[in-house]
Every structure is written in structure tokens, then in C-alpha cells.
Structure 1
Amino acid sequence: MSAIERISTGLPGLDKVVGQLRLGDNVVWQVTDINDYRYFTRAFATRALSENRRVVYLRFGLHPAVVEPLPGVKVYELDPNNGFEAFSTEVHTIASREREGVFYVFDSLSDLLSAWATDLMIGNFFKVTCPYLFEQNTIAYFAVLRNSNSYHTIARIRETTQLLLDVYKHKGQFYVHPLKVWNRYSPTMFLPHVSSGEEFVPVTSSVDIARLFSQLKHYKLSDAVRRLDYWDRILIRAQELMDRLEQGDQSAVPAEREIIDLLCKIMIGRDERILSLAKSYFTLQDLLEIRNRLIGSGFIGGKTVGMLLARSILKADRDTCWEQYLEHHDSFYIGSDVYYTFLVENGCWKLRLEQKKKENFFTAAKELQQRIMDGAFPAPIREQFEQVLDYFGQSPIIIRSSSLLEDAFGNAFAGKYKSEFCVNQGSPQERYCAFEKAVKRVFASTMGEDALTYRLQRGLAGSDEQMALLVQRVSGSSHSKYFFPDLAGVAMSHNAYVWREDLDPDAGMMRLVAGLGTRAVNRVEDDYPRLVALDRPTLRPAAGFEDIRKFSQHKVDVLDTDLNENDTVVLDDMLGLKADFPGWNLLAVRDHETTRKIKKLGIKKPDAWVLTFEKLMTATDFPQIIRRMLKKLEAAYNYPVDIEFTANFSADAGLKVNLLQCRPLQTVGKPRKKEASLDYSPDNVLLANNGSFMGGNILQALTGIVYIQGEEYSRMSVSERYEIARLVGQINRFFCNDEHESVMLIGPGRWGTSTPSLGVPVSFAEISNAAVLVEVASQKHGYMPELSYGTHFFQDLVETRIFYIAMFPDQAEMVFNHQLFDQFDNALPKIFPAYSKWRNAVKIIRPAESGKKLWLNAGLRPRRLTSFFTAI
């Protein structure tokens, strides 16, 4: 058995006290003054350099440096303001790069409070860093400032470290009191030791120890403040200031702005534009109310900030009394620190760091998802969860993702993370289990393939992305066994889908459904929400009642309180509920023709209805309310906005809107003022349409086409269609390796459908590198595109700058001349020989190999909208 290598602290007397240091030791010094820590780090570094050891100084504190710039000392400058994850990852990366046997000196951990605001995260950092340094056979020095951190944090540090040494200076002498020395013991080790020349002499007399500690007065076991996290101390200070202001204490006024800025910094986020808005519209009372409904600590996340900020903007509006239109909310917020603490406490952090490596980015994510689902919450968090559920009783609730980066300027993360409904029925224990499982599902969605792909594409793979949560009461009411809102939808202050020349893009648009809003934000299968141009709310893309009936909402998403689960109900099954539905006649019209046919056939069914929302548009001021709301929010943001809402009718209060979400609307920019010309032969036009596209004006050369042939695809089994979808994903990854590639995807029906009979069931990650996406209709095979403006799918297209075209070849003025593909060789067998059997169904066209060029030219023309793609 090899002998243990003994390492000197640089102070021979101290070596005797602790039995010297050993490789793997993490040494934490609790000091009153940073200069006291410097005394020990200088001795440590000097001795290590004299023995030709490698010394690394990790510099991040606000205090003066604790290691002198000696030859041989390697200094890393770190910025904790980038967040816990980025900071911890950087330290881990440095330790991996420097490898074994390095001697580390860290700045004071207490200084991390200025960046992270919570002791909790300091404890988390130490718990994930200390074990890794131990495995690397290093020795690391850390410091904490006495009375700066909570007892709980010091306890977590003590539990994790190998040595914890309490240091104080009195009358020019250092006293070192070892509180923990792992795997070493002597009869006097855990007594205070006083410096005497080069020695540290134990103070053994009870008289001397009592006199010494009474003079130092550094132990205050009854000090309630020390038992609080730094975060809580800030909030107590804010509440005390609020109390003074309410009592009319004018001397408190100058401090109000300072405390608002501080609270915004620790609760709202780091995005400067959002922070500026928060500081302008949130009052001190607003911020304290957020804290009163916050579980844990940390940021409340983008989705929560957007919802609360929008409500504050409207509350400050002097032109409209929004209280008469808006529902109140009583949401709770799960702070972002809960997410990281959950990962740390459940042993997930090491795997999280491994997952961030390029080679493990997707593969390790699956294991991490499972570990999250198997994890357990600390008892204090469980208690707060139970209190929230007690508050809501058996009202249905929804747990919504609200990550740090979500709903920010430039990054919507639309649909990338989960939102989970809890119908919230059953015993308290059953309701709690469902709630906790829902929270973990949202946490696990941070490791979903679409979310990870999105972060890679947006250059956010290394960013601090903590998951906070928004817990909301589901807006709506009970109708027999179903619970749902009367209306739900999304609305945008800018309308990128103007299907007629006389529509104003700046008036905005709305995507409206009856029931839960899931059918408004997702691409629904074989169903059609109502699209509303807010300057012409009665105008519809569909013409004639037959088209209106066909392209309308036929199913309603609800919560089934009997079965305690989500459900989708066909409209016919909802007709028996219309009697207790105050606004039914505003949403639906009788379908007399269908009713006559039903009766003629002798079928006993209620009269048929169609959800047109026609009277809602004509007999109420609802569209004007939404338009006014959007304009007010857009003006405050100085940017187009995108909102989610529900609305409910009541006999006494009329129609009330529940504003659920507000975020900057991701746009592709303004169309070019001057169009470039393009000469082409009509015989070479591959496809052309009149208005069914999104993406602004464009003139772009394309390097390739991937074409899924509809007739061949229709003959495939379900499993074969999924195989085609995975092939598309491989093609997508193949083209992403060359930044000069610009590829058009053409396929039958809806890309990204979950129903293979309606299109190609790809995930967005499998089509994310396309430049143009084309959906081709076919009445014969049941393929029907949907211009899903306002959905998460649409946000994906916009943020990745994918131009979208819906093709209806049977309609006048539309051309789809797919015979032109016969001019080109199919590159599929060459690029993917394993998939050669699909050469008739999947074509990869590389025009340059045939000496030809491909162009997409589209935009708003005088008197008509048009887009066409041509081969020259």
C-alpha cells in the first residue's frame, strides 16, 4: 500500500495542527477580513512554488487579489455574472484542462453573492466543484467571510469539504480553530490554536478559551439574521422600506429606486431590455408581491416576467381602465434556483457537465431526463408545493415553463419546453404526486431534442439556462364534467400573413379557438382555428359557407374532471353544454344545411353548429380590445409583441380577458423597398401561388431541393412514413455541415404532423436547416397544409428564417410543375446509399451538378401577392 503524500500549508506550525494536507483536500477558511485569508494563501502558494508545484489562482471576487502575481502562478479571470451554470462549467473545464496535482486558490465564495444573490447557489457551486477537485487529486483553498453566509450554506460547505478552519485575529495574533479535518485526529486538533512565532499552540485552558471567545463575540447562536439566506435578508430590507413608505416616511423615498433596481436584478433576469422595462413599470409593491408568491429563490423566468410586465403596463395606461376587461390572476412562481438545486441534490450535475460536451450533447440528455424524472425534491420545497396545492384546492392548474432565456428579445423558445396541465382531482396525496410529476416533466424538457437543437442553432448551448416555472390557475369554468375557457388564442401586433392587399400588417392578427388554448398555439391535426385580421375582423381567407364549415374548428380541447385528464371532444359532443354557455351564440352559428340532411336521414342528433366566432367579431368590441391591448404593449416594448390569452363570458361582468403571456414577437425584418429583377421562362416555373406564404419579400438562390413525392408516400405504411421522417432528419443534418447550403423541402400535407396520414411526422429539429419549406395539398390523399401563423411552429420558422409556402395545386393561379424534377439526377442513392430503396419517394436535387440554378422569388407586389420558384 503506497504511503499518503503529505503536503505543507507553508506554515510548519499549522501543519502540525491539521496533520498536514493531502492530495484531494479542499480547505475552507472562514475569516473576518480577506487580509486574514491572504496570510494563509501567500504561505501556501509560496511553499508550493518552491516545490515546483503548479499553482492556479481563480480570480472572481470584488476584493483585492489574495495571491500575488508570482512567477509560476497561473491566473484565470472568471465572471460570475454570467450565471451559476456558466461559472461552474468554466471552473470544471479549467480543472479538466489543468488535470491532476494542481494547487488551487479561489477568491472568497461570499463575493459570489453580488452576482447570484443567494447563499443557496454558493452551496450548490461548492457541492459540485469540491468533489471533482477531490477526484483530480488537487488541493484547493476557498474562503468565506464570517457572518456573510447563512448557517445552512456553511453547513452544506462543511458537509462537503475535507477541512473547515475558523480563523480570527486578536491583538495581532492569528487564532485557527479547526471545525472539520477529514480522516485526521489528535487530542488537541479541534481546539483553538494561537500563533506563537512559527508555531500554533492549542488553547487548552477552559478559562482562556471562554475569555477569548467572549472577547471575540463571533458566535451568535441566537442571531436570527444569520439563519437567513442573503436573498431573504434583501427581501426583509425591501419590506421594511415598503413599511416606511406606507407610513409616509419621506426619508425612505431616495432608497426606493435603489431597492427596486436590486430586486429586479435578483428576480427578473439579465436581459437589459427586459430589465429596463421592469424597472420602469414594476413598483416596489409589485416586486414584493412576486416574492410573496415565490417558491424558493432566484429568477422568475421569461414567461412569468412577460405576463406580469404586460399587466403592469396596462395598469399604468391612463387612457383605458383595463381592470374592466382583465381577469385577475393568482399565480405562483417556482424560482430558478430550485431547478439547479434539484439537479445538484439528485446527483445530476456531473452528468449535466458531461452533456454539455459536443460529443454528448444529445446522447447524455436522454439519461439526464430519466434522472430528473427519478429525482426527489428537498423537504422545504415539498412543503411549499403542498401549500400551493392547498391554496388552489381542486381547481385545475397548469405548470408552465419560464426559463431564463425564454420569451426574451431574439429568443422565444416557443413550444420548446413543456407546459403541463394538472386537472387536480383526487385526494391530497394523489394531487401532490401529479403536481410533482408535472414539475419534473417540465424540468426534464430542458433536455428535449427540439430544445437542445434550438439552443445550438441560436448559439445558446453554453448559456446559463435555468428553468423557473409559472403555476397558474386554469382560466375557465365547469360545464358538466368538462372544464375549459370559453375562448383562447394568440395575437400579434404585426400581421405577417396578409392574404389581401387591403389588409394592414401593422393592425395585427389573432388566432382564436373555443376551449383550451392548446389548439391555438399548436398545429392541430385536421382542424382549423379562426384567423382574424384585426383591421378587418369579419374578413376570412375562406370563401362561401362550405369552405367556412370545412376550414373551421371541429374539436375542442378540455379538461375532464371525472377522468382527471386532458381530453379532446368533437364539437357535436359539446352541443349539450351550450345551454350553460353564456356566449355560445357569439361563437357559433347554426348549420341549417347539415341539420336538414341529418333529419332527412332520420338521425336523432342535436342541430348542427359551426364555430365561426362571427357575432363575437360584429356584436362585441372584443377584436378592438385585443387590438388596443397589442398596440399599448407594443408601444411600451417599442417592438412588436405576441400574446396568449383566454376569455370568459359571465352574465354580470361581460367578457373578461385573462392575459397569460406576452413576449417580443420574433420577426424576419421588413421587406426590401426595391425588388431585384429576375428573368425566367414560364416553362421553367416549378411552383407559383397567390398569397399562401410567409416570410416577407425574398430573392434567393437555392442549392438544392428535397422532394417527398405525395403519390408514393400515400402508399406507405405508418412505420415506413416514420422511416421517411428519420431520413429527412439525416438529410437535414447532412446539409447543416455546409453553411453555403440553401435547401428547399417540399412534402405532402403538413410538415411536423403527429399524424402520418396528414403529412411527414418530423420534429422541427429534423427540418431546422431548410431555407424554404413547402407543404403541398392533395384532396385525393387527404393532405392539407395549414398556414399556422401564430403557432409555435410558426415561431420556429421565423426564428430560423425559413420561408414557408403552402401549395394548393387544384386552385386557379397556382402551379406545381413537379415534372421539372425529371431534368435532374436523384442524389439520394449517392449520398445515402442505405436508403436507395426510397429513390422513387424521396428525391434530392442538386441543380449545380446539371449546370442549372434555382431561385426563390416572392413578395408583396402591386395589386396581388405572389411567390414563385423557378429553374433557370
Structure 2
Amino acid sequence: MTERESRIERYFSWDPKHDDEFSSMILGDRSIGGKGRSLLYGIRALRDTGEPDLMSVTMPRALFLGSDVFDDFVESLPGRDELISNGTPDRIESAFLEHPLSEEVVERVRAFLADMTDPVVVRSSSIQEDSLKYSFAGKYLSDFLGNFGTLDDRTRAVCREIRRVYSRIYFPKALAYRSRHGIGDDSMGIIVMRVSGRWRGDLYYPTIGGVGFSRNYRRWTSRVTMEDGVVRFVFGLGTMSTKREYARTCSLSNPFLRPEGQDSYTILRHSQERFQAISRKLFEGASRERPDTLATLNVNDVWDDIFPWYREEMCQYAQMYRGDEGGGYFTSPNATPSGDRSVSRICFTFEDFPKRHRKFFERMRRTLSVLEEAMGVPADIEFAYEPREEHLELIQARPLWAGSGVSSEALESIDRERIILKADRMVTNGSFRHIPSLVYVDHAVYGAARDFNDIARAVGAVNDRLKGERFIFVAPGRIGSSNPLLGVPVQYNELSNCCCMVEVGIPKMGYMPELSYGTHFFSDLEVDGVLYMPVFEGYQNNLFRQEWFDETPYEVGPHKAIRIYRGPFSVFTSGERNIGMVVTE
């Protein structure tokens, strides 16, 4: 057995119930699931280094429920077999919510909440998530609760969300993922965890949340290497960093390099404006049956609420964009931008953050290196950070899933006249030959439409029609975005037959791919071996051959925005050279 194999075996055989620091946090005799066990293993690995900067990394207070708690719950569920076989998602969820948890679970939740009134999150931690091969990113559920009211109210709310997370084991998204990969039944552990952050007025959030990776598999420039590692972070709750929203992406070896370049307007277009927080005001107007306290806010709307908590520090996070005839420029933030007509937008650029907090990047690089060594495989983390106190909290630590890919063909032999799409960043090694179909969402029709969700569902219908037949999917902006103005809001399971996704940037229409490595979207791409290319119209070393798409015969899809071209086509990508191409055969 090699040293790497030995580390992997040690990682999988480690049981937190046998660790005195963690055993009191666990209810149940069996596994607490991959997400829970990996987090505790990561904390143990950092503790064991003896290095002060790593030993000071904490995790939020948490309660872990073993998978046997879930199994006992499901086995006692009335009409279980028929419900699981034939029930709709709504019916399954209703049945789970009506069935009580055991008194032992309720009392442990009550004890956990008794002296802890900060917001909490109820997170899935399934058995199948404990894998080096499958990510399950975003396939289940995490629910945020403000944790308001009496102890009885708070206990009931958490127990309700535990049952809601349990029900997701049998929802179509998870069933389809397990079926696609030939994975059998799953069982669910639960993490009830204090949300990282603090109250700032009526909003609760950490200053910074994000994800980090010990390897950078999708480089945006040859000036960084795969081994450098990468972080992707946002202002507020890190939930926005795992979605296809804008975030700051930094190589850990050179955090000053921006994937989008240094042009002010381009930075503006790629910078975060929306952030997430727990809202006290939302709770006050919400249903007590299921209070919705997770708010998505625009910094331009709540600037007066957040600026007083940072003042001079805010220049590390936000900037004000002032438009002029020369293209615009950024200035440092001030207290009252609303009265200044020259300020067009405020956004989180984190311009000064790498300069002011170089230690953060060094500490993150060391943290990821230790975790990779401890697990025997590249590491993936979620974190929260308070720069003022240099307080780093680990929210998740687990293996970084990466598809094996295939070697790329020799790019020099390709006839340039056959190239219809070309990219120069964010690609890995891979190739697909003789792809029979290319599905294209026309950016002009999509931009004029308002039935965005209908277009997304129509893409899913094409995917179903092409079952068993691979295709290339080309669309404007960000595929799978939660904001349809930024890209087609198609679900990942609606692209199950896709072997390559191409995001086309049309700057004049506001469609810009976002190099969101680290999102659940990219985790799925890596695991499934789906190739990805961002193509920017008009950019050097990029090609979007519009005339080919306009002049080549095509079939109109279920929606007029969708075109289906018949090939065959081929895709070639080289991570070493950062070149990707789609060519006609």
C-alpha cells in the first residue's frame, strides 16, 4: 500500500465517535454521513499540526445525528413503501412533516438550543456523500432558521426542518443523480449548526463567506498553476459562493490577479451586488409554520444599514462605480452615496482585501495543504471569516471531486475553418468526437423574451428527446443561473445527456460567463466529466462564429429560442495550454 493509499484508508476509517472532543456532539450509533464526518476529520487534522494559525481555526457549534436516527424514522413511517414508490414530492414532504421524531431526538435538539439563540442551519449529511467519486453538491437541502421565539418554538422549527431534509432523500433531483451514477439507496445524517456570523442591526451574516480548493483545475491564466489552490468568496453568507452568482476568485499564490482583468467596467460587471443574510424583519412578517428568514439583498438598497458597521474598513470590500465618458472608474465608499448622482452602483470588488489581508491567503493555502495531506486527496472547504479578528471558521471540509477526463487531441492538426467556438481559459483536459447534436439558445431571442423558465424547461424537453445521445449545449451568459437575466435557469438534471457546455459572453447584451469554479454547478461538471468552455465574443483568442449559427440549417426546438444543429461535432480542450475548441467534422 502506498503512503497516499494509507492516508485515504485512514481518512475513511476514522470515526468521530471515538474522539473525545467530538463524541458528545453526536446522537446515534452509525455514521453521521460524509459531510459531518469530513468536517470533524478536517478539524482534527488542523488541531494535530500544532501550528497556532491552524489550531485556532474553529467550527461553529453543532449537533450531529447519525444515519440510524433517519433509518428508525423512515421504518416507522406509515405507508412507507407505497409513499416512497408512488408519492409526489409534495406528498412525501407532507408525510415526513406529519410523522414525529423520537423523543430522544427532540430532547437533544432542545438541549442544543437552550443556551444558543443565534441563527442555525439544518444541513444534510448523507452516507453517499462520503465518497471520493460523487459530490452530491446541492442534491439535498440546507435550511436556515433565525432561531427566534421561545425554546419550544425554536425546537419545533428545527425538528420540522430535520424532517424536511430527510424527505429529500426521495425527491427527483436526488433519485435522478443516484440513478445516473448507478448509486443505490442512501441514508441521511443531519448537522444542526450555528450559522457563522453575528448580528449587525436586523441582519445576521459573516463579513466573508466562501469556498476554497487545494487544486485549481480551471485556470484563467498561465500565470497560476493547478497546485496553487484557489478561493472564491463573497460578502455575507457563503451560500452565494456556491451558486452561479458573482464572487471574487483568487489564486492563493497570487491573489491580486483577477480572472476578469483590470478594466473598471468589466470588474463592475463581474462583481457581487447581491448578498445573503438572516433577516429579523423577514421573520416578523413570516408564517410561523415555516418562517423564511434567509434574505437576498442588494447592497445598493441596504447600504445605509451595513456601512456603519464597517466605515473605514469598507474600502477592503466595496467600491463605488462612477460613470463618465471615458468608461467609468471606482472610488472608495463613503457614508452617503445616495445623494451623489455620479455614483451609479456600489459593488463588492474586494479591491483592497488581498493587500490588507495577505496573511489570510497564506493561512488558507496552508490549511488546504494540510487537509489534502491528511485525506490523501485534494481538499474542498467552505468557510467564514471575520477579518477584523482574523477569525476563520471551517463550515465544511471534504475531498475535492474531479473527473478523470481524457487526454486532448493535438490542437495544431485542427483545420481553423472548422472551428465555430474557441475559448482561452477555465478548461480542463478532454475531448469528445462525433457528437451528433449541438443545442443552441439564441441570445437575441432569449434577450427579448420574458418566459425564461419556459425556455429552460424546453431545454429539458430537448434533453429528454435526445436520451442516450450526447449533445453540446451552447447558451448566453451563465447556464443554470438563479437569476434568469444573467443566463438560462436550466437545472443540471435537465442536461443529463450533455457532454460539453459552452457559455457565450455577449458583452453588449449583458451576458457574461462567470468563472464560478467551486459552485455546485462545477462540482457536477467535474464528477460527470462534462467539458466546459466560456467563450467571450470579441475577446482576443476567443471565437464565436455567429455567421455559422445563422447560416447553417437547424431544427427549431420546443421554444423558438432553441435551435438544434445536426453534426457531427468534436470538442477538444487542453488545460495545460488553456485552449478549448468546438469544431465541425
- Give TM class, smaller chain: 0.7 to 0.9
Q: Verify the 8 A CA contact 2:202 2:280 in the aligned structure 1.
A: yes
What corresponds to 1:105 in structure 2?
none
Distance 2:337 2:208 in 1: 33
Distance 2:333 2:36 in 1: 49
Distance 1:348 1:854, change over 3 A: same
Select 1:345's aligned residue among 60, 69, 76: 76
Q: Verify the 8 A CA contact 1:301 1:405 in the aligned structure 2.
A: yes
> Is 1:816–2:532 an aligned residue pair?
no
Q: Verify the 8 A CA contact 1:408 1:663 in the aligned structure 2.
A: no
Distance 1:826 1:503 in 2: 40
Select 1:659's aligned residue among 394, 410, 414: 394
Equivalent position SS for 1:531: strand
CA deviations on 1:219-246 (whole Å, 9 max, x unpaired) are xxxxxxxxxxxxxxxxxxxxxxxxxxxx
Q: Verify the 8 A CA contact 1:369 1:447 in the aligned structure 2.
A: no
Identical positions, percent: 28
Q: Verify the 8 A CA contact 1:325 1:655 in the aligned structure 2.
A: no
Distance 2:26 2:337 in 1: 60
Distance 1:275 1:442, change over 3 A: farther
Equivalent position SS for 1:758: coil
Segments of 5+ residues of structure 1 without an aligned counterpart are 1-270, 830-834, 848-852
> Is 1:765–2:493 an aligned residue pair?
yes
> Is 1:858–2:581 an aligned residue pair?
no
Distance 1:724 1:602, change over 3 A: closer
> Is 1:401–2:129 an aligned residue pair?
no
TM-score, structure 2 as length reference? 0.88
Offset of 1:750 from its aligned partner?
A: 2.2
Distance 1:549 1:748, change over 3 A: closer
Distance 1:622 1:713 in 2: 41
Offset of 1:438 from its aligned partner?
A: 1.6
> Is 1:331–2:50 an aligned residue pair?
no
Equivalent position SS for 1:317: coil
One-letter amino acid matched to 1:536: N
Distance 1:686 1:645, change over 3 A: same
What corresponds to 2:316 in structure 1?
586
Distance 1:686 1:539 in 2: 29
Select 2:381's aligned residue among 643, 665, 669: 643
CA deviations on 1:434-493 (whole Å, 9 max, x unpaired) are 212221221122223221111111111x23x11111111111111111111111110111
What corresponds to 1:845 in structure 2?
565
CA deviations on 1:769-800 (whole Å, 9 max, x unpaired) are 20011122234443222221000011011111
> Is 1:618–2:362 an aligned residue pair?
no
CA deviations on 1:659-693 (whole Å, 9 max, x unpaired) are 11111111123774x843564443332111222x4
What corresponds to 2:289 in structure 1?
none
Distance 1:802 1:716 in 2: 28
Distance 2:30 2:218 in 1: 39
Distance 1:332 1:606 in 2: 46
What corresponds to 2:237 in structure 1?
516
Aligned pairs, how many?
561
Equivalent position SS for 2:503: strand
| Correspondences of 1:309-324 after superposition (within 5 Å) | 309-318=41-50, 320-322=51-53
CA deviations on 1:485-513 (whole Å, 9 max, x unpaired) are 11111011110121111211111100011
> Is 1:683–2:417 an aligned residue pair?
yes
Offset of 1:615 from its aligned partner?
A: 3.4
What corresponds to 2:114 in structure 1?
390
Segments of 5+ residues of structure 2 without an aligned counterpart are 284-292, 323-328
Distance 1:799 1:715, change over 3 A: same
What corresponds to 1:868 in structure 2?
581
Distance 2:23 2:539 in 1: 57
CA deviations on 1:558-602 (whole Å, 9 max, x unpaired) are 111243311122223235433433954433456575669999995
Distance 1:694 1:441, change over 3 A: farther
Equivalent position SS for 2:390: strand
Q: Verify the 8 A CA contact 1:701 1:742 in the aligned structure 2.
A: no
What corresponds to 1:49 in structure 2?
none
| Correspondences of 1:697-708 after superposition (within 5 Å) | 697-698=430-431, 700-708=433-441
Equivalent position SS for 2:578: strand
What corresponds to 1:430 in structure 2?
153
CA deviations on 1:675-730 (whole Å, 9 max, x unpaired) are 43564443332111222x43324353322111121222233332xx3333222212
Distance 1:387 1:596 in 2: 46
Distance 1:617 1:325, change over 3 A: farther
Distance 1:609 1:711, change over 3 A: closer
Distance 1:717 1:278, change over 3 A: closer
User: For the aligned residues, what is the CA RMSD?
Assistant: 3.0
Distance 1:601 1:315, change over 3 A: closer
Distance 1:869 1:591 in 2: 37
Offset of 1:743 from its aligned partner?
A: 1.0
> Is 1:632–2:353 an aligned residue pair?
no
Q: Verify the 8 A CA contact 1:712 1:841 in the aligned structure 2.
A: yes
Select 2:203's aligned residue among 482, 488, 495: 482
| Correspondences of 1:689-768 after superposition (within 5 Å) | 689-691=423-425, 693-698=426-431, 700-718=433-451, 721-736=452-467, 738=468, 741-768=469-496
One-letter amino acid matched to 2:296: T
Offset of 1:749 from its aligned partner?
A: 2.2
Q: Verify the 8 A CA contact 2:17 2:23 in the aligned structure 1.
A: no
Select 2:266's aligned residue among 544, 547, 550: 547
Distance 1:607 1:480, change over 3 A: farther
One-letter amino acid matched to 1:729: G
Distance 1:328 1:685, change over 3 A: closer
User: Which is greater in Rg?
Assistant: 1
Select 1:471's aligned residue among 189, 192, 197: 192
One-letter amino acid matched to 1:645: F
CA deviations on 1:179-218 (whole Å, 9 max, x unpaired) are xxxxxxxxxxxxxxxxxxxxxxxxxxxxxxxxxxxxxxxx
Distance 1:671 1:630 in 2: 26
One-letter amino acid matched to 2:27: I
Distance 1:755 1:551, change over 3 A: closer
TM-score, structure 1 as length reference? 0.60
